[in-house]
């Protein structure tokens, strides 16, 4: 008799059913019979089928039956059948009376204070909003925006999901442990460098391809007691813009997904997990969502305090812009709303400042182990954070995979010079900043920058970023970071007199953010008034 996990799957156990198989050879040596028996909780037993195998040697179960004389086998069969028939009789005897009522699980329900919201901003999930300069680089054509379907289920237990995966036998490559698919984890509650290990997502799983939608659909069909839909939206993904769907509980627990438009047909996915009292993690997933490609199912233990023993299942599907007329109109309206939303001030939780302070030893260790593989982004982020190199850190966070690989190669080539720098932490930090400036300016001179990189150039250099050759000249100067910053300030002050209003505004905002803008200067004032303020500043020697 077999009653292990072979006939009884985890799904059977979860649904209150026990399956077993009874095998016996009643008469001839060449005949071996197997009775599969199913016994639901509080219900009669039933024999599902009887199968006969021509040879006991072809069946592993046959080893359980004594191989002696015919009479011995007959006695064994009679004894075994007595047990089976006794079990059947005890169950079937209850057929004449109603079985006891099974308890009905209470439906899952949202607690007071729960909310699901959608917001967005120009920039990546890690950079936060990049401002109006970056917003000007976002494509406004609705047909360049991708259609995003995002749905989140609260599932009664992670065991249910694991059982489904085991029962469906998702093919290799279709289902993986989530901890093997993390390229960057930023713990915003700790003063530690970013890494690739998550406190909240390590026990999760990830499924790609058609099985993702099938499994999500099966989980959804277990509602209301087995699952609860807590968010379902049809949104858009615009290049350079992050769209975030967030589920929040009243006590600060949060499960959110941020989808950032990377190219014309792809997007990157970052999870935001915040347990009540347990800190906030940003978890960037490996790979990309591709328009028209495979859907993605991500399952993690619920960080929401009112559902701590449950799981959150997220389904994402990205499609190209629709072609049918009515659908195109709806799509264009959603795109317009998303663009308007992205230039407004987002939820303060959208802006994430990386924790940590300058750690020279940590930075050197990261520099020494830098290699051009899948761990390069996490290593570069750790290197920039530990060295206090702001531009370098931003590039490591927002650059696409090909650009990141080129940046890693450039830093690896400069590694000997960087390690020979002086002992003060700012020496290594400025060395990394200089390499980042050279890389960014050189890339702009040799081709069109990605919107994320253009935004970083303008953000860190102000209006002077419109002239990459000038930035490259400043970076080639062997002076220190202080001298470089002085040159940037002087260049932006000079551009306050430019005839272009856009350049004047950009230069003024950059200077004002650093507290060095001329007092009383208005970049949009009449030319005479602007000149008067600048001349008075020169005469005062400021």
My answer on whether 119 and 66 are in the same domain is: no
My answer on whether 130 and 241 are in the same domain is: yes
Q: Indicate whether 440 pLDDT > 90.
A: yes
The pTM assigned to this predicted structure is 0.57
What integer pLDDT is reported at residue 476 of this predicted model? Answer: 81
CA distance 309 to 159: 10
What integer pLDDT is reported at residue 175 of this predicted model? Answer: 59
User: Which range (194-208, 385-399, 512-526) has the least confidence?
Assistant: 194-208
My answer on whether 321 and 410 are in the same domain is: no
What integer pLDDT is reported at residue 91 of this predicted model? Answer: 43
Average pLDDT of the segment spanning 470-485: 83
Q: Which residue has the higher pLDDT, 356 or 263?
A: 263
Last-in-domain residue among 94, 124, 146: 94
Q: How does residue 335 score in pLDDT terms, banded at 50, 70 and 90?
A: very high
- Does some domain include residue 104? no
My answer on whether 90 and 151 are in the same domain is: no
Q: Indicate whether 63 pLDDT > 50.
A: no
CA distance 428 to 441: 20
What integer pLDDT is reported at residue 278 of this predicted model? Answer: 64
My answer on whether 205 and 286 are in the same domain is: yes
Last-in-domain residue among 345, 377, 406: 345
What integer pLDDT is reported at residue 280 of this predicted model? Answer: 81
Q: Indicate whether 190 pLDDT > 50.
A: yes
Question: Mean pLDDT score of the chain, rounded to an integer?
Answer: 77
Q: Indicate whether 48 pLDDT > 50.
A: no
Helix (H, G, I), strand (E, B) or coil at 353: coil
My answer on whether 316 and 189 are in the same domain is: yes
Tens-digit pLDDT profile for residues 487-507: 999 999 999 999 999 999 999
- Does some domain include residue 402? yes
- Does some domain include residue 218? yes
My answer on whether 89 and 135 are in the same domain is: no
Q: How does residue 303 score in pLDDT terms, banded at 50, 70 and 90?
A: confident
What integer pLDDT is reported at residue 68 of this predicted model? Answer: 43
Q: Which residue has the higher pLDDT, 318 or 40?
A: 318
Q: How does residue 196 score in pLDDT terms, banded at 50, 70 and 90?
A: low
Q: How does residue 195 score in pLDDT terms, banded at 50, 70 and 90?
A: low
Last-in-domain residue among 345, 376, 411: 345
My answer on whether 139 and 58 are in the same domain is: no
My answer on whether 300 and 373 are in the same domain is: no
- Does some domain include residue 357? no
Average pLDDT of the segment spanning 307-326: 89
CA torsion sign for 135, 136, 141, 146 is negative
Q: How does residue 389 score in pLDDT terms, banded at 50, 70 and 90?
A: confident
My answer on whether 321 and 226 are in the same domain is: yes
Q: Indicate whether 12 pLDDT > 50.
A: yes
Q: Domain span at residue 472?
A: 368-540
Q: Indicate whether 95 pLDDT > 70.
A: no
- Does some domain include residue 362? no
What integer pLDDT is reported at residue 269 of this predicted model? Answer: 94
| Cα Rg of the chain, angstroms | 32
Q: Indicate whether 49 pLDDT > 60.
A: no
Q: How many CB atoms lie within 10 A of CB 207?
A: 27
Of 129-133, 211-215, 383-387, 424-428, highest mean pLDDT: 211-215
Q: How does residue 1 score in pLDDT terms, banded at 50, 70 and 90?
A: confident
Q: Indicate whether 485 pLDDT > 60.
A: yes
What integer pLDDT is reported at residue 374 of this predicted model? Answer: 62
Residues sharing a CB contact under 8 Å with residue 539, sequence separation 6 or more, in sequence order: none
Give which of 400, 340, 326, 330 is closest to 140, Cα–Cα.
340
- Does some domain include residue 103? no
Average pLDDT of the segment spanning 278-290: 84
My answer on whether 341 and 379 are in the same domain is: no
Q: How does residue 30 score in pLDDT terms, banded at 50, 70 and 90?
A: very low
User: Which range (99-108, 469-478, 505-514) has the least confidence?
Assistant: 99-108
- Per cent of the chain over pLDDT 70 is 71
What integer pLDDT is reported at residue 464 of this predicted model? Answer: 92
What integer pLDDT is reported at residue 515 of this predicted model? Answer: 87
Three-state SS across 266-311? EEEEEEEEEECCCEEEEEEECCCEECCCCCEEEEEECCCHHHCCCE
My answer on whether 183 and 321 are in the same domain is: yes
What integer pLDDT is reported at residue 100 of this predicted model? Answer: 43
- Does some domain include residue 44? yes
Q: Which residue has the higher pLDDT, 287 or 321?
A: 321
Q: Indicate whether 482 pLDDT > 80.
A: yes
Q: Which residue has the higher pLDDT, 464 or 110?
A: 464
Q: How many domains does the chain have?
A: 3
CA distance 426 to 145: 42
Average pLDDT of the segment spanning 135-149: 84
* Side-chain half-sphere CA neighbours of 272 within 13 A: 23
What integer pLDDT is reported at residue 104 of this predicted model? Answer: 41
Q: How does residue 481 score in pLDDT terms, banded at 50, 70 and 90?
A: confident
Long-range contacts of the stretch 477-483 (C-beta < 8 A, 24+): 480/426, 480/430, 481/426, 481/429, 481/430, 481/433, 481/434
What integer pLDDT is reported at residue 478 of this predicted model? Answer: 62
Helix (H, G, I), strand (E, B) or coil at 185: strand
Q: How does residue 73 score in pLDDT terms, banded at 50, 70 and 90?
A: very low
Is residue 534 within 8 Å of 497, Cβ to Cβ?
A: yes
Q: Indicate whether 66 pLDDT > 50.
A: no
- Does some domain include residue 355? no
Give which of 411, 412, 492, 435 is closest to 459, Cα–Cα.
492
């Amino acid at each position: 008799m077999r009653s292990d996990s072979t006939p009884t799957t985890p799904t059977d156990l979860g649904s209150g059913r026990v399956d077993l198989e009874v095998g016996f050879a009643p008469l001839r040596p060449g005949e071996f019979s197997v009775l599969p028996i199913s016994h639901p909780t509080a219900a009669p037993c039933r024999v599902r089928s009887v199968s006969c195998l021509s040879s006991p040697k072809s069946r592993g179960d046959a080893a359980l039956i004594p191989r002696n004389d015919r009479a011995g086998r007959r006695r064994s069969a009679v004894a075994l059948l007595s047990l089976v028939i006794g079990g059947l009789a005890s169950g079937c005897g209850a057929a004449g009376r109603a079985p006891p009522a099974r308890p009905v699980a209470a439906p899952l329900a949202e607690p007071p204070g729960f909310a699901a919201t959608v917001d967005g901003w120009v920039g990546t999930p890690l950079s936060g909003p990049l401002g109006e300069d970056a917003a000007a680089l976002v494509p406004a054509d609705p047909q360049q925006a991708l259609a995003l379907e995002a749905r989140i289920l609260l599932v009664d237990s992670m065991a249910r999901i694991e059982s489904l995966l085991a029962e469906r036998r998702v093919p290799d490559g279709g289902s993986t442990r989530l901890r093997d698919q993390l390229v960057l984890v930023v713990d915003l509650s700790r003063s530690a460098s970013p890494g690739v290990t998550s406190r909240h997502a390590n026990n999760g799983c990830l499924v790609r391809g058609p099985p993702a939608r099938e499994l999500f659909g099966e989980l959804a069909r277990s509602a209301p007691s087995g699952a609860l839909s807590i968010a379902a939206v049809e949104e858009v993904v615009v290049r350079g813009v992050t769209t975030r769907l967030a589920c929040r509980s009243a006590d600060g627990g949060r499960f959110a997904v941020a989808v950032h438009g990377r190219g014309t047909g792809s997007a990157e996915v970052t999870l935001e997990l915040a347990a009540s009292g347990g800190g906030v993690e940003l978890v960037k997933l490996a790979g990309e969502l591709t328009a028209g490609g495979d859907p993605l199912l991500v399952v993690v233990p619920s960080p929401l305090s009112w559902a701590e023993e449950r799981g959150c299942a997220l389904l994402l599907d990205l499609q190209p812009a629709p072609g049918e007329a009515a659908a195109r109109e709806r799509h264009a309206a959603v795109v317009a709303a998303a663009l308007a939303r992205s230039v407004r001030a987002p939820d303060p939780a959208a802006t994430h400042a990386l924790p940590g302070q300058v750690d020279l030893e940590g930075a050197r260790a990261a520099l020494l182990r830098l290699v051009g593989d899948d761990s390069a982004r996490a290593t570069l982020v750790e290197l920039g954070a530990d060295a206090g190199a702001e531009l370098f850190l931003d590039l490591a966070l927002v650059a696409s995979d090909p650009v990141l690989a080129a940046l890693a190669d450039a830093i690896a080539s400069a590694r000997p010079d960087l390690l020979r720098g002086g002992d003060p932490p700012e020496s290594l930090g400025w060395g990394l900043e200089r390499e980042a400036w050279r890389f960014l300016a050189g890339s702009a001179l040799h081709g069109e920058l990605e919107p994320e990189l253009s935004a970083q150039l303008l953000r860190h250099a102000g209006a002077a970023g419109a002239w990459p050759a000038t930035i490259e000249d400043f970076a080639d100067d062997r002076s220190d970071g202080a001298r470089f910053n002085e040159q940037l300030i002087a260049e932006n002050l000079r551009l306050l007199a430019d005839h272009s209003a856009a350049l004047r505004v950009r230069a003024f905002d950059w200077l004002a953010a650093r507290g060095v803008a001329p007092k009383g200067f208005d970049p949009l004032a009449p030319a005479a008034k602007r000149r008067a303020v600048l001349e008075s500043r020169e005469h005062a020697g400021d």
